[in-house]
């Protein structure tokens, strides 16, 4: 079957175009002594609102995956008291309470093996708590093992009272979130599963959208009506 | 170290306690002292971290007058909300039980408490008497890179401007003087051209002798984050010891101490050979210079050296590099020729952006200035500089080594703007300080090592030491400790805790630290960070700024300094800022500093400068391309600097290299971090790291004791095999934070003849079983 002239021209035109493109690409490769100054960089970490939102997105991360490894409805024996004992103050990074083999290596896999998803660790006869911020990889930057229990000098340090439990507004209503969410994006790390302290363990780990019901309190002041607040741009 | 068995036991105990608690609701089982206040009344305030030169932004929670919690400040572009274990616990450094809360004076050999005002009287009258009897150059002040900017500024103004002596030094001489002279010799102006944002753009990171995973952990996490986002990113650890950084890096290259000089020249050689030189850049923006060679090591008391720049050209530079072929360099450095070529490829590849990082490895070096120059040479040859993601980046170790020591200029030869040798700079200082220009001596007097040697010889009789611990950190320590104890020497120490330095003091002044007063720090990326006073200092503790002003007042210079404690920091800042006016070094106004988590300088016409020396980003640069305006010829200088051996190399009698440094958990001399429970418990004491083969040969095992002997002194330490790091065969590594095990008894006080910075990384020792 023979081709009609217009079709043949189209094929020729296409080939010419391809050739030109190839020449341009090859030319580019030769014609580039240095990356031009201020060339855009791929995958730049930004500190704009996207990143701020990303913090909250973490609340949902890792939940359904984790249920493949751990029975989230299972209850452990860990207490809130021991949870706080490992922290200098509520919110401080906890020390590593167990022996570690590889002090020299950053050993991301060594930590993540147990702490990325959680689960029972036969060697220590315990459930490993899951990290609430698995996206950070230099674990030993913030978490250090304790070689002994002595002090160099005594201290007058006083920690804070941890947030009180049972702050639900009504009997049975969902309690508010008493702590910051930064680096604690994955609620289930501390609030679900057998490694969660008993006192703060959720009764409903199967529900995925925690912040549908649990809010962070940002003010203790009650609502008051203010006329100025209703004017455009006015602040009470 | 906690054992597996005891951990399981403690877990069982924990659950028993928990069970008991659930049986007896309402009964508390307190394990720690707890403040009665709850979290509701807590206020969060921004401040830079007290510790290293990274300058992380923190939010400190204050409740009822006490600091109770720390968060990373998500608004800080430095750390974006993340800290390291030291930062998260930094507030505990405020609350050691042995905080100095009152002044002490030595009476009949014993330190007795006196009211602070009385102690300040004694300091002032002792200074007056010493100056009257022995001249103004018999008094000295020795501060640090932990001085806030106002501290350093007031010290410099008092000593250089009012009293008229250049005996002003700071411990930053021991940590980044080579970085300064490196910058000045190559670019004519101090401090990095880029900023931390370079990390988000670079494709290759070469770490020159910098265990960043432990020493700059927050920045290192940014490197890891960058690599996670872009899999082609490469991290190369170029070091003399295997560390956490080596394990995290894509490539670990070990080299023999001191041969970094040869390696850098070899990379340059190979870049030229591969035809990777950025010729248009080099022709337009680079000049070639040759300096003196065989420049000595500063071991003699009367040592003096002055470098001279002889112009030369590209062809003689190429000929000079013939001595550094990969094969020749491999034989010297122990790095394979293939690895050397690989490094050259990384730097030379036009499609990769490269950042070099370094800190003490290159700076604490008897050829520290040279190796700084040599790494700049590489970046200049390929034109990878002053652009996002491309640049050499010298890191610092103290929170305000840049802000106070380098920018305010608390070094013997420096003024806030320029140097004492320059008449115009002296005139400027005299005008702003409102002192007669004749007051400012035109000759530098003593750099740090020389200052302590002068104290030993008796030329300096009075020394005021603030915020630093030289009786832990001076090399060849015994000589300088003995010097302070000699008859007729008077030592004043301002500090927050008892240290080996307060042990030798005649007067101890209790200082208000960090957020107990208002101040500013300046970090490694030219960022000035302000902090408010958030809590009250304990007892009679007073800020170093106010201590200096109080003594100045007693010496009759009261009118030169602000007197209102409520506004003095702002007044000092605005006066200091006049020195740096203009597009090259403009500083942000006080009011703006108070609002933002740090502002980069040059701050000009309301804008920060992220990359200097390029028309696109730097208002001081002329044209639309590069402009290295620090040098009169508007070019950056490539220096022909050869490899020269270290002053003391291992021999038959002393066959091991000794290297000293830090660990993640401890900072500087440990006087703060050791009082933070979690940090002390993590690393309670210093140790000696050995290679396992050396340990076997010596017949010692992990946990045994070993004696390290040098020509200066000896020290017995616990052997550590493969704990935190693994030194190469024939090397031993010891951290220096432990005041009970002072490795500086063993180290050598040789220094870089140009920067006068001592080398704590290399001396020869013998190891003995004990």
Given an 8 Å threshold on Cβ–Cβ distance, is B725 in contact with A104?
yes
Q: Which sign, positive or negative, has the C-alpha torsion B618, B620, B625, B630?
A: negative
Given an 8 Å threshold on Cβ–Cβ distance, is A38 in contact with B387?
yes
The 10 Å CB-count burial string (b at 16+, else e) for A89-125 is bbbbbbbbbbebeebbbbbbeebeebbbbbbbeeebe
- The CA-to-CA distance between both ends of chain B, in Å, stands at 23
Q: Is residue B727 part of a domain?
A: yes
Contacts of A94 in chain B (CB under 8 A): none
Catalytic residue among B162, B193, B212, B360: B360
A54 touches chain B (CB under 8 A): no
Q: Is residue A132 part of a domain?
A: yes
Between B40 and B706, residue with greater pLDDT:
B706
Q: Note the pLDDT tens digit of each residue in B471-482.
A: 999 999 999 999
Q: Is residue B701 part of a domain?
A: yes
Taking the CA of residue A181 and the nearest CA in chain B, the distance in Å comes to 11
Given an 8 Å threshold on Cβ–Cβ distance, is B681 in contact with A146?
yes
Weakest-pLDDT range from A33-47, B90-104, B110-124: A33-47
d(CA B676, CA B678): 6
Length of chain B measured in residues: 770
Range of the structural domain that residue B53 is part of: 43-95
Chain A residue whose CA is closest to B245? A106
How large is the C-alpha radius of gyration of chain B? 26
Taking the CA of residue A17 and the nearest CA in chain B, the distance in Å comes to 27
B85 touches chain A (CB under 8 A): yes
Residue B664 has pLDDT above 50, yes or no: yes
d(CA A179, CA A167): 13
- Do residues B172 and B52 make contact, with C-beta atoms less than 8 angstroms apart? no
At B15, is the pLDDT very low, low, confident or very high (cuts 50, 70, 90)? Answer: low
A142 touches chain B (CB under 8 A): yes
A20 touches chain B (CB under 8 A): no
Given an 8 Å threshold on Cβ–Cβ distance, is A106 in contact with B33?
no
Given an 8 Å threshold on Cβ–Cβ distance, is A90 in contact with B81?
no
Taking the CA of residue A26 and the nearest CA in chain B, the distance in Å comes to 15
Q: Is residue A229 part of a domain?
A: no
With a CB cutoff of 8 Å and minimum separation 6, the contacts of A221 are none
Given an 8 Å threshold on Cβ–Cβ distance, is A124 in contact with B11?
yes
The pLDDT, as a whole number, for residue A135 is 80
- Do residues B155 and B143 make contact, with C-beta atoms less than 8 angstroms apart? yes
CA dihedral B172, B174, B179, B181 (to 10 degrees): 100
The 10 Å CB-count burial string (b at 16+, else e) for B389-423 is bbbbbbbbbbbbbbbbbbbbbbbbbbbbbbbbeee
Question: Is B348 in the same domain as B412?
Answer: no
Question: At which residue do the structure tokens 């704590």 appear?
Answer: B760
ipTM value > 0.95: no
The pLDDT, as a whole number, for residue B36 is 41
Given an 8 Å threshold on Cβ–Cβ distance, is B678 in contact with A88?
yes
Contacts of B724 in chain A (CB under 8 A): 103-104
The pLDDT, as a whole number, for residue B59 is 95
Q: Is residue B502 part of a domain?
A: yes
Weakest-pLDDT range from A204-218, B343-357, B592-606: A204-218
Q: How many CB atoms lie within 10 A of CB B125?
A: 13
**Residue numbers of A between 180 and 219 with CB closer than 8 Å to B:** 180, 182-183, 198
Residue B747 has pLDDT above 60, yes or no: yes
Q: Is residue A26 part of a domain?
A: no
Count: domains in chain A: 1
The mean of the pLDDT values for chain B is 94
From the candidates B7, B24, B83, B99, which should be mutated to test the interface with A, based on the most A CB atoms within 10 A?
B7
Closest partner CB to A105 (pick from B88, B244, B674)? B244
With a CB cutoff of 8 Å and minimum separation 6, the contacts of B270 are B326, B340, B341, B343, B344, B348
Q: Is residue B586 part of a domain?
A: no
The pLDDT, as a whole number, for residue B501 is 97
Answer with the one of B561, B582, B608 that is the final residue of a domain: B561
Contacts of A144 in chain B (CB under 8 A): 85, 664-665, 678-679, 682-683
Chain A residue whose CA is closest to B673? A152
Taking the CA of residue A167 and the nearest CA in chain B, the distance in Å comes to 13
Question: Is B740 in the same domain as B695?
Answer: yes
Closest partner CB to A123 (pick from B4, B77, B226)? B4
The residue-averaged pLDDT of B89-104 equals 96
d(CA A108, CA B396): 27
Which H or E element spans position B510? strand B507-510
Q: How far is CA A49 from the centre of its chain?
A: 16
Range of the structural domain that residue A139 is part of: 60-144+180-203
With a CB cutoff of 8 Å and minimum separation 6, the contacts of B733 are B241, B658, B659, B660, B661, B688, B689, B725, B727
Closest partner CB to A182 (pick from B71, B220, B228)? B71
The residue-averaged pLDDT of B164-186 equals 97
Question: Is B332 in the same domain as B289?
Answer: yes
Contacts of A156 in chain B (CB under 8 A): 95-97, 99
Q: Note the pLDDT tens digit of each residue in B291-307.
A: 999 999 999 998 999 99
Count of A-B CB contacts under 8 Å: 263
The pLDDT, as a whole number, for residue A168 is 79
- Do residues B691 and B727 make contact, with C-beta atoms less than 8 angstroms apart? yes
The pLDDT, as a whole number, for residue B34 is 47
The pLDDT, as a whole number, for residue A212 is 75
Given an 8 Å threshold on Cβ–Cβ distance, is A45 in contact with B19?
no
Contacts of B1 in chain A (CB under 8 A): 99, 145, 147
Q: Is residue A35 part of a domain?
A: no
Contacts of B229 in chain A (CB under 8 A): 43-45
* pTM beyond cutoff 0.90: no
Chain A residue whose CA is closest to B391? A37
Residue B482 maps to which CATH number?
3.40.50.740
Contacts of B74 in chain A (CB under 8 A): 47, 52, 55, 182
Question: Is B677 in the same domain as B728?
Answer: yes
Question: Is B161 in the same domain as B113?
Answer: yes
B692 touches chain A (CB under 8 A): no
Count: domains in chain B: 4
Taking the CA of residue A64 and the nearest CA in chain B, the distance in Å comes to 23
Question: Is B274 in the same domain as B163?
Answer: no
Closest partner CB to B217 (pick from A138, A145, A149)? A138
Question: Is B357 in the same domain as B486?
Answer: no
Q: Is residue B274 part of a domain?
A: yes
Q: State yes or no: is B421 an active-site residue.
A: no
How far apart, in Å, are the Cα atoms of B389 and each of B157, B622, B637? 38, 22, 21
Percent of chain B at pLDDT > 70 equals 95
Closest partner CB to B682 (pick from A33, A47, A145)? A145
Given an 8 Å threshold on Cβ–Cβ distance, is A37 in contact with B614?
yes
Q: State yes or no: is B520 an active-site residue.
A: no
Q: State yes or no: is B387 an active-site residue.
A: no
Given an 8 Å threshold on Cβ–Cβ distance, is B95 in contact with A155?
yes
**Residue numbers of B between 10 and 39 with CB closer than 8 Å to A:** 10-11, 14-15, 17-19, 21-22, 29, 31-39
d(CA B401, CA B395): 10
Question: Is B331 in the same domain as B360?
Answer: yes
Q: Is residue B703 part of a domain?
A: yes
Taking the CA of residue A63 and the nearest CA in chain B, the distance in Å comes to 22
Contacts of B3 in chain A (CB under 8 A): 99
Pick from B490, B465, B488, B470: which is nearest to B547 by CA? Answer: B465
d(CA A236, CA A229): 5
Contacts of B18 in chain A (CB under 8 A): 77-82, 198
Question: Is B636 in the same domain as B682?
Answer: no
pLDDT tens string for chain A (236 positions)?
Answer: 455 567 788 888 888 888 877 777 665 555 444 445 555 666 655 444 444 444 444 555 544 455 556 677 777 888 999 999 999 999 999 999 998 877 777 656 788 888 888 888 888 888 899 888 888 888 889 999 998 889 999 999 998 888 888 777 777 788 888 888 888 878 888 898 888 999 998 888 877 677 778 877 766 777 777 655 544 443 43
Pick from B309, B304, B260, B258: which is nearest to B287 by CA? Answer: B309
Residue B56 maps to which CATH number?
3.30.200.210
Closest partner CB to B97 (pick from A92, A140, A153)? A153
Q: Note the pLDDT tens digit of each residue in B127-162.
A: 999 999 999 999 999 999 999 999 999 999 999 999
Answer with the one of B538, B561, B584 that is the final residue of a domain: B561
The pLDDT, as a whole number, for residue A52 is 44
The pLDDT, as a whole number, for residue B25 is 39
Given an 8 Å threshold on Cβ–Cβ distance, is A152 in contact with B38?
no
Q: Is residue B18 part of a domain?
A: no
How far apart, in Å, are the Cα atoms of B611 and each of B192, B352, B480? 9, 18, 42
Residue B281 has pLDDT above 90, yes or no: yes
Question: Is B418 in the same domain as B546?
Answer: yes
The pLDDT, as a whole number, for residue A213 is 80
Residue B757 maps to which CATH number?
2.40.40.20
Q: Note the pLDDT tens digit of each residue in B691-704.
A: 999 999 999 999 99
Q: State yes or no: is B175 an active-site residue.
A: yes
Percent of chain B at pLDDT > 90 equals 92
Q: Is residue B216 part of a domain?
A: yes
Answer with the one of B592, B616, B640 that is the final residue of a domain: B640
Taking the CA of residue B7 and the nearest CA in chain A, the distance in Å comes to 6
Taking the CA of residue B95 and the nearest CA in chain A, the distance in Å comes to 5
Given an 8 Å threshold on Cβ–Cβ distance, is A147 in contact with B31?
no
Question: Is B374 in the same domain as B407?
Answer: no
Which H or E element spans position B106? strand B103-107
Q: Note the pLDDT tens digit of each residue in B268-278.
A: 999 999 999 99
Q: Is residue A70 part of a domain?
A: yes
Q: What is the DSSP string of B440-469?
A: S-SS----HHHHHHHHHHTS--EEEEES--
Closest partner CB to A81 (pick from B2, B18, B678)? B18
Length of chain A measured in residues: 236
Catalytic residue among B83, B176, B195, B362: B176
Q: Is residue A13 part of a domain?
A: no
Question: Is B202 in the same domain as B338?
Answer: yes
Residue B26 has pLDDT above 60, yes or no: no
């Amino acid at each position: 079957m023979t081709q009609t002239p217009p079709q043949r021209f189209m094929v020729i035109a296409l080939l010419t175009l391809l050739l030109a493109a190839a020449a341009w690409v090859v030319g580019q490769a030769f014609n580039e002594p240095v990356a031009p100054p201020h060339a855009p960089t791929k995958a730049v970490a930004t500190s704009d609102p996207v990143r701020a939102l990303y913090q909250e997105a973490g609340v949902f991360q890792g939940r359904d995956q984790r249920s493949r490894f751990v029975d989230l409805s299972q209850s452990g024996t860990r207490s809130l008291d021991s949870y706080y004992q490992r922290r200098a103050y509520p919110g401080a990074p906890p020390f590593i309470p167990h022996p570690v083999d590889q002090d020299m290596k950053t050993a991301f896999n060594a930590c993540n093996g147990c702490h990325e998803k959680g689960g029972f660790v036969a060697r220590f006869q315990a459930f490993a708590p899951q990290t609430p911020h698995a996206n950070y990889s230099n674990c030993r930057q913030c978490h250090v093992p304790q070689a002994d229990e002595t002090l160099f000098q005594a201290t007058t340090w006083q920690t804070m009272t941890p947030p009180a439990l049972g702050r639900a507004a009504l009997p049975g209503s969902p309690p508010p979130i008493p702590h910051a969410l930064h680096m604690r994006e994955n609620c289930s790390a501390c609030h679900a599963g057998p490694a969660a302290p008993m006192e703060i363990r959720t009764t409903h780990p199967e529900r995925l959208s925690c912040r549908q019901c649990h809010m962070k309190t940002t003010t203790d002041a009650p609502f008051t009506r203010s006329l100025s607040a209703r004017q455009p741009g006015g602040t009470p | 170290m906690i054992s597996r068995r005891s951990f399981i036991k403690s877990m069982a105990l924990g659950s028993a306690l928990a069970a008991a608690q659930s049986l007896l609701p309402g009964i508390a089982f307190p394990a720690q002292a707890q403040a009665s206040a709850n979290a509701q009344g807590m206020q969060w305030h921004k401040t830079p971290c007290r510790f290293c030169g990274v300058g992380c932004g923190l939010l400190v929670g204050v409740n009822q007058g006490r600091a109770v919690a720390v968060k990373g400040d998500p608004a800080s572009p430095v750390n974006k909300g993340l800290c390291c274990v030291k930062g998260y616990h930094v507030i505990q450094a405020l609350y050691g039980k042995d905080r100095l809360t009152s002044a002490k004076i030595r009476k009949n050999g014993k330190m007795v408490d006196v009211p602070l005002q009385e102690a300040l009287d004694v300091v002032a009258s002792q200074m007056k008497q010493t100056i009257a009897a022995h001249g103004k150059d018999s008094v000295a002040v020795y501060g640090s890179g932990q001085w806030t900017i106002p501290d350093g500024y007031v010290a410099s103004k008092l000593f250089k401007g009012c009293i008229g002596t250049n005996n002003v030094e700071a411990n930053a001489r021991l940590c980044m003087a080579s970085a300064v002279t490196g910058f000045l010799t190559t670019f004519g102006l101090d401090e990095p051209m880029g900023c931390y944002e370079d990390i988000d753009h670079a494709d290759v990171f070469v770490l020159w002798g910098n265990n960043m995973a432990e020493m700059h952990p927050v920045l290192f996490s940014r490197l890891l984050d960058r690599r996670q986002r872009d899999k082609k990113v490469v991290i190369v650890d170029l070091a003399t010891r295997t560390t956490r950084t080596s394990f995290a890096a894509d490539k670990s290259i070990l080299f023999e101490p001191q041969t970094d000089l040869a390696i850098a020249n070899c990379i340059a050689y190979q870049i030229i050979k591969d035809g990777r030189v950025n010729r248009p850049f080099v022709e337009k923006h680079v000049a070639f210079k040759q300096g003196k060679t065989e420049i000595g090591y500063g071991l003699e008391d009367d040592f003096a050296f002055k470098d001279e720049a002889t112009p030369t050209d590209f062809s003689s530079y190429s000929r000079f590099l013939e001595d550094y072929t990969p094969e020749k360099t491999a034989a010297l450095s122990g790095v394979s020729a293939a690895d050397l070529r690989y490094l050259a490829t990384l730097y030379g590849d036009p499609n990769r952006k490269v950042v070099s990082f370094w800190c003490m490895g290159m700076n604490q070096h008897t050829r520290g200035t040279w190796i700084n120059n040599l790494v700049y040479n590489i970046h200049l040859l390929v034109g990878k500089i002053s652009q996002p993601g491309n640049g050499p980046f010298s890191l610092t170790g103290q929170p305000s080594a840049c802000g106070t020591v380098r920018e305010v200029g608390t070094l013997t030869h420096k003024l806030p703007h320029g140097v004492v040798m320059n008449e115009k700079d002296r005139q400027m200082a005299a005008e702003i300080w409102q002192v007669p220009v004749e007051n400012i001596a035109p000759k530098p007097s003593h750099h740090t090592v020389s200052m302590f040697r002068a104290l030993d010889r008796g030329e300096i009789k009075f020394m005021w030491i603030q915020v630093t611990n030289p009786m832990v950190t001076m090399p060849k320590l015994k000589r300088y400790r003995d010097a302070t104890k000699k008859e007729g020497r008077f030592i004043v120490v301002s500090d927050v805790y008892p240290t080996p330095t307060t042990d030798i003091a005649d007067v101890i002044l209790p200082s208000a630290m960090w957020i107990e007063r208002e101040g500013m720090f300046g970090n490694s990326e030219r960022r000035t960070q302000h902090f408010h006073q958030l809590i009250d200092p304990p007892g009679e503790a007073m800020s170093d700024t106010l201590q200096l002003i109080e003594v100045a007042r007693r010496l009759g210079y009261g009118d030169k300094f602000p007197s209102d404690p409520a506004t003095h920091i702002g007044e000092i800042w605005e006066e200091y800022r006049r020195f740096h006016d203009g597009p090259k070094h403009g500083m942000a106004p006080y009011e703006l500093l108070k609002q933002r988590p740090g502002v980069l300088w040059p701050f000009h016409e309301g804008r920060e400068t992220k990359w200097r020396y390029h028309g696109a980003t730097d208002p001081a640069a002329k044209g639309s391309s590069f402009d290295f305006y620090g040098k009169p010829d508007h070019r950056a200088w490539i220096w022909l600097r050869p490899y020269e051996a270290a002053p003391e190399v291992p021999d038959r009698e002393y066959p091991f290299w000794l290297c000293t440094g830090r660990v993640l958990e401890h900072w500087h001399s440990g006087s703060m971090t050791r009082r933070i429970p979690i940090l002390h418990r993590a690393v309670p004491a210093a140790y000696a790291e050995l290679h396992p083969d050396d340990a076997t040969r010596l017949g010692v095992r992990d946990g045994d004791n070993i004696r390290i002997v040098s020509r200066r002194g000896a020290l017995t330490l616990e052997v550590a095999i493969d704990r935190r790091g693994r030194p190469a065969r024939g090397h031993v590594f010891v951290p220096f934070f432990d005041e009970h095990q002072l490795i500086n008894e063993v180290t050598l006080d040789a220094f870089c003849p140009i920067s006068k910075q001592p080398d704590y990384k290399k001396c020869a020792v013998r190891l003995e079983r004990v």
